[in-house]
Amino acid sequence: MKKHLAVGLVFLIVACFAMTLGTTAAAKNIIKVAHDQTSDPYDPVNAFALVFKSYVENGTNGAYEVEIHPASVLGKERERLELTKAGAIQVNLASVGGVSQIYPPAILLNTPFTYRDDRIVAKVLESDFVYWMFQDMEKKTGIKSINVFELGGLSCFTNNVRPIRTVADMKGIKFRAMDDSQVAMFKALGANAVPMAWSETYTGLQTGVVQGQVNPVSIILNNKINEVQKYLTISRTILGGHWTVVNANWYNKLPADVKKIVDEAFYYAKLTSSGLTQIIQATGYDALKSLGMQITTIDDAAYAEFRRLGRTAVLEWAKGQMDPAIVNRFVAAVDEIEKNN
């Protein structure tokens, strides 16, 4: 992937919106930002953190210093959430699946075959339903939510068995499943599901314990999944997104002028991640093709069948995990957005 194509997006936003670069004053306040992805500046998650860091440090003239802790160095998903609640981490960029460990309705955003395209994704992530979830989650967990941002587009299937164009092509392939919702999806599609931590997935694919996985193109590239997978399907499967959560006590006690800077930093960081996602999708498929992957696309007719089976199974699974009224409210919100767009 030609990473220099992304330079303009990440650093132009910093240059345009960051305030004076004076940092002569010693930093008095540390903001720890933790996430689970690589330290590559062109990774959408780390780019989010970098823009947040630059905007906050420059905007406060160095009074606040942002430390970025990538690659789960401060703990795995559940550990980082607990550290965020305790105040040891101020800002945590967590996967939707990770947040669902403490707040089950979050997993609804990962309902497969729900988003026709990236425009629908963007509108859902700014919907009243998502902001209701933010408020509900804070009431139930004590952890405050800021936004949900994209990290590489809607996810793709990869596997080592055959190209996938229809549901029938899924039959019998052993896919790594991130959680029980993905287990339900793969079973409904005729595939086999093997629950597996992300940290074990590369080796699992390499050794044949699993034959396939599902992730956005950014994660496929940054984690070199192409080295252990032959076929990629542009399938629009699951939202590639991360949930920005913060320690509520820390956030609420920020001075008003600093909170304004922090909020603007979150805003521009999200813009960066969304824009970088589009660059990655525009260049990533060609990059993976040049690295030897065979790429196919699910057409609209096949997508409808994937949605009928995969989405339905996961929604039924979700109704057993939470109040069915919440599930129905989510579906209604997405369907309304899709109808109007």
Region label for 292, one of left (φ > 0), alpha (ψ between -120 and 50) or beta (otherwise): left
Q: How does pLDDT run across 286-340, given as a tens digit for each residue?
A: 999 999 999 999 999 999 999 999 999 999 999 999 999 999 999 999 999 999 9
Amino acid at 3: K
Q: How does pLDDT run across 71-114, given as a tens digit for each residue?
A: 999 999 999 999 999 999 999 999 998 999 999 999 999 999 99
Q: How does pLDDT run across 26-51, given as a tens digit for each residue?
A: 447 999 999 999 999 999 999 999 99
Percent of the chain predicted with pLDDT > 90: 87
Classified as helix, coil or strand, 11 is helix
- Would you state the pLDDT for residue 152? 85
User: Which domains does the chain possess?
Assistant: 3-151+241-284 (3.40.190.170), 156-238+285-339 (3.40.190.170)
pTM greater than the 0.85 cutoff: yes
Q: Is the dihedral of CA 133, 136, 140, 141 positive or negative?
A: positive
HSE on the CB side for 64, CA within 13 Å? 23
The number of angstroms, rounded, from the C-alpha of 121 to the middle of its chain's C-alpha atoms is: 12
